[in-house]
Chain A
Amino acid sequence: MNFAGFSLRNLSPKIGSPGSAVIASRFASNEVTFQTRPYKLHKLDSGPASETTLTKEDALDYYRKMQVIRRMETSAGNLYKEKKIRGFCHLYTGQEACAVGMVGAMDKEDAVITAYRCHGWTYLLGSTVLEVIAELTGKISGNVYGKGGSMHMYDKNFFGGNGIVGAQQPLGAGIAFAMKYRKQKNSCFTLYGDGAANQGQLFEATNMAKLWDLPCVFICENNGFGMGTSADRASASTDYYTRGDYVPGIWVDAMDILSVREATRFAKEYCNSGKGPLMMELATYRYSGHSI
């Protein structure tokens, strides 16, 4: 098919948003270069790249992963309504680009620790969909033989799955401490929500991370709500990427997976150069409630 004369603008990949403008594409190649969404910076002179190249292979991989997570979470929701999943079930529906984008920039020896909205992460970091759903339904074929459940799933360099809001913040700094102790060139990506961003232990953790130059990336997945309370009713400042004060921060439009990936690459390079911790705010949204 001959695309000559067909405006490249119409190849905008995103529905419902101005979208990343396609800069260049050679139809015979397997690569496209996109512009990333604008970042906001806190105490940084320069930020992540404004352009990124996406290969066909990666595009299909990211798309597949996001779809799998979306469908897995939808099934989990249905299973919960059928009472096959008990207790809590915190769905990642809508936030897929955060996890998939970050994993696209991480390497195998980086670590991740998050809170209880962890099913998508568990899938991305080593478990099959079966192992996740089996865990949710309490089967021995589950990620941790049914002993953990929705909130407590683990893998190599993936430290859960943590039920107590904010507890993972100093834990993540501790994992980063171990990486520095062993002189590894890796980072620990420590995720928390906009609700957990107000926890005192976050400030304790960022203080020590900054004091000791720990390679910890503190990432606030701001989906607009802490449980049932909107962010602006819980936080005196909703600029979560600035809340690290002396820790530099980046705000990312996390509905755009490539922006997330680029920001994560920047964060990795920043921490690996020994500059200490970084804070990121991923502006995202969840389509379900806090839990079902």
Chain B
Amino acid sequence: MFIRNVSNCVISRNGVCSNLKNALYITSRRNLASNTQTMTIRDALNSALDEEIKRDDRVFVLGEEVAQYDGAYKVTKGLWKKYGDERLVDTPITEMGFAGIAVGAAFAGLRPVCEFMTFNFSMQAIDQIINSAAKTYYMSAGRVPVPIVFRGPNGAAAGVAAQHSQDFSAWFAHCPGLKVLAPYDSEDCRGLLKAAIRDDNPVVFLENEILYGTPFPVTEEVLKEDFVLPIGKAKIAKEGTDVTIVSYSRGVQLALEAHEQLKKENISAEVINLRSLRPFDFKTISDSVKKTHHLVVVEYGWPFCGIGAEICAQVVETDTFDYLDAPVLRVTGVDVPMPYAATLESNALPTTAHVVKTVKKSLNIQ
């Protein structure tokens, strides 16, 4: 299962241990006093897929380059060699067709994991995701469950321009019948991907390409084969008292960095990692706001009708509103198709500085 390179496999910047010829996932041991292990997102996803394929005969992965190429982003590395053509299926570049085939296989009782090379291409298949997968359990009054997972990288990458950089969280979170997950770290990825595969509903699993190579600490508990996180429960990543910063996916990184910077200025920020967009854990946000009285939402996607907009609406519609000492503020991507030039691109996306500035605005501090 694991190959632990105890001595000096220092994690390279992109998290790939290059001295490994066997294509199995790895963990790297960093010898700290507390004996913490770390694992990259890529390995977290790979290990979760490996274990779930082994556990249940009905689980299989299909998508472009998932088998013989080891995955466009190497998330499925080594799995084809281990499990073969039946469990890892390379498809032609026809999203509508293969997503439909995956949904049909789910109708008939298999448990497909359908990979989109990025979620930008899911638009080609969106009819199958929404009208065939999401709605069928309801329309069939429970006769036809659809136990499928659609997974892949979502949101801005680096320099891939407008058609390859869209964040689809708000689009999928909008639709009843789907579950929508947006993991941040390796623990999230392992626990939530396993939960998604074991769930009998269609789940959209939004990963992030930029984070694939980032290592995160993982406990022994996380590495267990039955480590599953509950869908629909947010995580309080950092406790705090002055302001609540809510985010998901890569935005949590900004929130955590802002937390550190604010700490130096004696501002105690509570950071919430949503983990799940649908079902949505509003209670965790509400409880936090009732404590801190200030709310900032951070997301990479466009502002109009985004996740932040939904959070604002839910705050205003409930008694959470009464506990606010300042309006809810959002940090989002800029409302433009993603430009190509590096300076333009970085200016179209949120940064830690934006989060810090917005928190201070909420607290009316200079």
Contact = CB atoms under 8 A, between A and B. Distances in A.
B210 to A, nearest CB: 31
Interface stretch (A46-54, A176-184, A232-240): A176-184
Given A164-B127, A204-B97, A175 B108 contact: yes
Q: Which of A144, A172, A181, A211 has the most CB of B within 10 A?
A: A181
Interface in B80-108: 86, 89, 91-92, 94, 96-108
Nearest to B104: A174
A167 B107 contact: no
Interface stretch (B14-22, B133-141, B211-219, B255-263): B133-141
Given A174-B103, A177-B105, A204-B92, A167 B141 contact: no
A147 B141 contact: yes
A174 B102 contact: yes
Contacts of A173: 97, 100-101, 104
A207 interface: yes
Contacts of B131: 163-164, 167
Interface stretch (A153-161, A241-249, A266-274): A153-161
A219 interface: no
B132 A162 contact: yes
B108 A178 contact: yes
B98 A170 contact: yes
A167 B132 contact: yes
A144 B103 contact: no
Contacts, number: 116
Q: Which of B91, B107, B108, B132 has the most CB of A within 10 A?
A: B108
B27 interface: no
Nearest to A113: B104
* Interface band, chain A: 35 or more
Interface string A11-40: 000000000000000000000000000000
A171 B100 contact: yes
B312 interface: no
Contacts of A179: 108
A152 interface: yes
A208 B91 contact: yes
Nearest to B94: A204
Contact of A170 (B104, B136, B138, B144): B104
Interface residues of B, number: 32
Contacts of A147: 138-139, 141
A81 to B, nearest CB: 25
B106 A174 contact: yes
Contacts of A169: 100
B101 A177 contact: yes
A258 interface: no
A74 interface: no
B314 to A, nearest CB: 27
A145 interface: yes
Contacts of A167: 100, 127-128, 131-132
Nearest to A206: B97
B96 A159 contact: no
Given A167-B132, A211-B92, A174 B143 contact: no
A203 B110 CA distance: 23
B104 to A, nearest CB: 2
A111 interface: yes
Nearest to B93: A204
A129 B207 CA distance: 47
A205 B143 contact: no
Given A144-B139, A164-B131, A174 B107 contact: yes
Contacts of B144: 154, 159-160
Given A111-B108, A179-B108, A170 B139 contact: no
A207 B94 contact: yes
Contacts of A205: 97, 100-101
Contacts of B100: 167, 169-171, 173-174, 201, 204-205
Interface of A: 111, 113, 144-145, 147-148, 152, 154-155, 159-164, 167, 169-179, 181, 188, 200-201, 203-205, 207-208, 211-212
Given A111-B108, A170-B96, A208-B98, 11 more contacts: A144-B140, A148-B141, A162-B132, A167-B131, A169-B100, A170-B101, A171-B132, A181-B60, A181-B86, A181-B105, A201-B96
